[in-house]
Structures are given as structure tokens and as C-alpha cells.
Amino acid sequence: MSKNTEYIVPVAIGLGALFFFRQIAQAFGLIKSADDVNAASLINANYFDPKFWKQGGAGAMILTDAGAKIYAKQLYNAKGLVNDDEAAVYDVFKRMKTKSQVSYLSDKFSLYYNTDLISYLQSFLNPDELLKVKTIVNPLPNFKV
């Protein structure tokens, strides 16, 4: 064997082992995948803060209390024992016109169900599904259409 080719097999085995162990570590949550990082950024989004809508002042677009109650119930009921209704979650967020409405919904959700909305969503949505919620809400204007 020449000098250059004697390292090919060990390097290939090493790279394969690295890939394999990286997948195992991600499966056990020891390291985060790109989807996990993107989903985590949703948690830090200020529009899920129940107080965000108050920063918009008098002209901020919010939901009616009746509308917020209906949407909160729809989100709460989306979590199932065996199967979750992700489409119902997406439907609620597609109906939002501003991030202040998302914040107001989060405020009312915590009032009705004694848990914050983002934690509740994390309890049954996987990182890809949380990322889809983020992609629905991120383009919305903050307070006014």
C-alpha cells in the first residue's frame, strides 16, 4: 500500500463512527439538531409573552375575549391521548393577523388553563411542528395590519 491510501480506510471508518454517534447523541438529547435550535427560538419569541400585546398601545390589534376563548379551547383540545391535532394548531395561528393577537391569545390561554401557551404547545408538538408555527407567525406585523 502506498502512503496515501493506507489512511483512507481508517478515516472512512472514523467519519462513519462520528456520524453514527452524532445521531445517537441527538436521539438522546445530548446535542441539539438544527430543528431543535429553531424550535427553541420560538420559545424566546417575545410575541408569546402574555405582556407583549400591551406594548402596542391603543391601536394594537387584539382578539375579542370571546374569540380568544374559542381559539384557546381549540389549542387546548388539540392535544390528544393517542393522536394530536396539529392541523387545529396551525389553523389557529393562520387566523392571527398580528403578533399582538398571538400575545393576547397567550395571555388568555394562561388565564383559562393555568399554563403558558408555549409550554403547552411544547408538551405535544415536535420541533418540526413548532417550527411550522414559527413560520406562520414570524411574518406577521407586530401590532397593526
What are 26-61's pLDDT values in tens digits?
Answer: 666 666 665 555 544 444 568 888 888 888 888 889
**DSSP 8-state assignment for residue 139:** T
Q: Give this prediction's pTM.
A: 0.70
Lowest average pLDDT, out of 11-25, 52-66, 91-105, goes to 11-25
What are 104-144's pLDDT values in tens digits?
Answer: 999 999 999 999 999 999 999 998 999 999 999 999 998 88
Domain boundaries, the chain: 1-31, 33-137
Grouping H, G, I as helix, E, B as strand and the rest as coil, residue 137 is helix
The b/e string for 65-79 (b: 16+ C-beta within 10 A; e otherwise) is eeebbebbeebeebb
Confidence of residue 70 (pLDDT cuts 50, 70, 90): very high
Distance CA 53, CA 61 (A): 8
Confidence of residue 2 (pLDDT cuts 50, 70, 90): low
pLDDT at 43: 47
DSSP alpha helix (H) spans, the chain: 8-27, 34-43, 65-77, 86-94, 99-113, 117-122, 127-137
Distance CA 113, CA 95 (A): 21
